[in-house]
Structure 1
Amino acid sequence: MERTLTDLLSTDVFRTLGTGGLWELGLILAAATLLIVLLQKSLPWLANRLRGRRRHLLLAMVPLLRLVIIIGAFLLMVPRVIEPSLQNMVAVLGSLGLALGFALKDYASSLVAGIVAVGEAPYRNGDWVEIDGIYGEVRHVGVRALQLVTPDDNLVTIPHQLLWTQPISNANNGNPRLQCIADFHVAPIHDGARVRAVLEDVALTSAYIALNEPIVVIVQEQPWGTRYRVRAYPIDARQQFRFASDLSVRGKAQLLRLGIALASVPALAETAAG
């Protein structure tokens, strides 16, 4: 005859913990905490002294190793608290999961999404991503949430739960380089081939350019003039804003030096009025 859950909880599910058992649990918990702290301090410290793909691979290992430590500590602690029989484990863990599922539905959803994020890797430490309109570098992928540092140096915590409902734009996807875009708006009357060549030279001579990546200048005709978009890659993703600023400042200066007129506010106003 099957025992009820009340009978299980009142008889032989939980083991009697003596002083030695409590010490074992405390040591396991302390060791796991210490390993996680050392992991989260040492690997980012080492990664910041590396460059390129090795830095991103090392940073991406942090959440995976932390999850392994947490699961390992849990597996070591459970047999010391519960009599390790199949019936006991099913009854206790099933009841615990059901209670947590109702009480912490959103939190549990973020935890599950965090595990999925570790496996599918839509973002990793060191990636530049945009989630729900927030753009920044992933600095920490936790069990429940990730932390972004925005270009304005704001730390933003985003729950993994948004993985289910929000699109995630990853600019570099584990790569040390990402594409930067600099826009130039030129008045209608000009030599397009010359402007395009000038902007290609500006990108090619930048101190931040990754020479083994393509440089593309896209030309789009608009009612008010012509828009040129320079697409190129900096050596390191963290240089993206300095690189884009360098392209914009040097490109504008070079166009003005050659007597090429830029699109002006009156031209835009006339277009809107027409």
Structure 2
Amino acid sequence: MEPDMGEIGEVMQLLNASRLMAALVIVVLAIIASRLITSTLDRFGEGNARRRLTAKYAASISRFVIFIGAVAFILINVLDLSGETWIALSATIGLTVGFALKDTAASLLSGLLILIDRPFTVGDRISFDKYYGEVREIGLRTVRIATLDDNLVSIPTNKFLTDPVASANAGELDMMVQMDFFIAIDADFDLARDLAHEAAVTSKYVFLEKKVNLLVSDEMTPHFYATRIRVQCYVVDCRFERRLASDVTERIKTAWRKHGIRTPFVLEHQVRRADYVPPAEGRSSSPA
């Protein structure tokens, strides 16, 4: 089948300077609009903590809508394609992009699926692979996570369709924080548990609309045999996760020290100075 010279000529007309310039202007305007809307929604969210996650989700959706809208406007209005030319050009572009940018195309589709299915959203605390932190952005190609030590990690969106991901707060502002504390096996665990509960409920970072749980169990580790007191409470804002853990830990340690709650004995093969007996004269101090 020989190519239709009329269709080829029509396609070549699409590449003239004026139309390319108009397409470039639309792309620039789309980028500016996307950044302006995103920054506005971010400022709105930061000013109202309860609406922060909703504002960030709306910002992610707006970026996709602006991107798709700009591409559609360029193809339909600026390039002014006829039906046959549209089909021919779409097939050509589809084959070219499919082979050259298949990973990028998969990431774009994955980003859209994440926004629709919502396994997590912007502002969530997630665990993925070896990373844990707050989702800062669900972009067209990558998801950006800010770890607790303030590193920004970019992960291709298509990774989230095949690998498991855990969301700690699942779109909610509050989030459970779990902390483990150990006391000596013969210490007064009733008193220790009550002091730990008081320390948790009096923290300014705890979300008191949800119950504070304390679980007691005996634990054997390679280093000690002890009673574990596990504190489970909800932080009022997931961004205060570390502050809550630090505040509750300080309160519990202070209360236990004041009431004489002892920490576990370390199981090490060491001889205490008080138990040391010097060897008799003429004998070796090393075992036989």
TM-score past 0.5 threshold:
yes
The structure-2 alpha-carbon separation of the partners of 1:112 and 1:49, relative to structure 1 and needing over 3 Å to count, comes to: same
Write the distance in 2 (CA, Å) between the matches of 1:106 and 1:17. Answer: 27
Write the distance in 1 (CA, Å) between the matches of 2:24 and 2:162. Answer: 39
Deviation, structure 1 residue 40: 2.4
Q: Is the 8 A contact 1:14 1:81 kept in 2?
A: no
- Counterpart check, 1:148 vs 2:120: no
Deviation, structure 1 residue 173: 1.4
Out of 211, 215, 220, the position equivalent to 2:217 is: 220
**What residue in structure 1 maps to residue 279 of structure 2?**
none
Aligned residue type for 1:132 = D
For residues 227-247 of structure 1, what are the alpha-carbon distances to aligned partners after superposition, in whole Å with 9 as ceiling and x for unaligned?
111010121111110100111
Q: Is the 8 A contact 1:82 1:88 kept in 2?
A: no
**What residue in structure 2 maps to residue 64 of structure 1?**
61
**What residue in structure 2 maps to residue 254 of structure 1?**
255
Write the distance in 1 (CA, Å) between the matches of 2:106 and 2:132. Answer: 23
**What residue in structure 1 maps to residue 200 of structure 2?**
203
Write the distance in 2 (CA, Å) between the matches of 1:57 and 1:195. Answer: 40
Write the distance in 2 (CA, Å) between the matches of 1:114 and 1:57. Answer: 17
Deviates more, 1:191-200 or 1:68-77: 191-200
Bigger Rg, structure 1 or 2: 2
For residues 164-217 of structure 1, what are the alpha-carbon distances to aligned partners after superposition, in whole Å with 9 as ceiling and x for unaligned?
222111111111111111110111113333222221111011121111111001
**What residue in structure 1 maps to residue 182 of structure 2?**
185
Q: Is the 8 A contact 1:179 1:233 kept in 2?
A: yes
**What residue in structure 2 maps to residue 45 of structure 1?**
43
The structure-2 alpha-carbon separation of the partners of 1:241 and 1:4, relative to structure 1 and needing over 3 Å to count, comes to: farther
Out of 88, 91, 97, the position equivalent to 1:91 is: 88
Write the distance in 1 (CA, Å) between the matches of 2:152 and 2:2. Answer: 49
Please, which runs of 5 or more residues in structure 2 have no aligned partner? Answer: 270-288
Write the distance in 1 (CA, Å) between the matches of 2:95 and 2:266. Answer: 63
Query: What SS is found at the alignment partner of 1:233?
Result: strand
Write the distance in 2 (CA, Å) between the matches of 1:76 and 1:88. Answer: 16
Deviates more, 1:239-248 or 1:88-97: 88-97
RMSD of aligned residue pairs (Cα, Å): 2.2
For residues 46-84 of structure 1, what are the alpha-carbon distances to aligned partners after superposition, in whole Å with 9 as ceiling and x for unaligned?
2111112x1110011111111101111111100232523
Write the distance in 2 (CA, Å) between the matches of 1:5 and 1:48. Answer: 58
Query: What SS is found at the alignment partner of 2:182?
Result: strand
The structure-2 alpha-carbon separation of the partners of 1:16 and 1:171, relative to structure 1 and needing over 3 Å to count, comes to: closer
Q: Is the 8 A contact 1:14 1:83 kept in 2?
A: no
Deviates more, 1:99-108 or 1:222-231: 99-108
Out of 168, 172, 183, the position equivalent to 2:169 is: 172
Write the distance in 2 (CA, Å) between the matches of 1:5 and 1:121. Answer: 46
**What residue in structure 1 maps to residue 29 of structure 2?**
31
**What residue in structure 2 maps to residue 138 of structure 1?**
135
TM-score by length of 1: 0.88
Write the distance in 2 (CA, Å) between the matches of 1:100 and 1:220. Answer: 58
Query: What SS is found at the alignment partner of 1:193?
Result: helix
Aligned residue type for 2:28 = A
Deviation, structure 1 residue 136: 0.9
Please, which runs of 5 or more residues in structure 1 have no aligned partner? Answer: none
The number of residue pairs the alignment matches comes to 264
**What residue in structure 2 maps to residue 231 of structure 1?**
232
- Counterpart check, 1:81 vs 2:82: no
Write the distance in 1 (CA, Å) between the matches of 2:197 and 2:6. Answer: 75
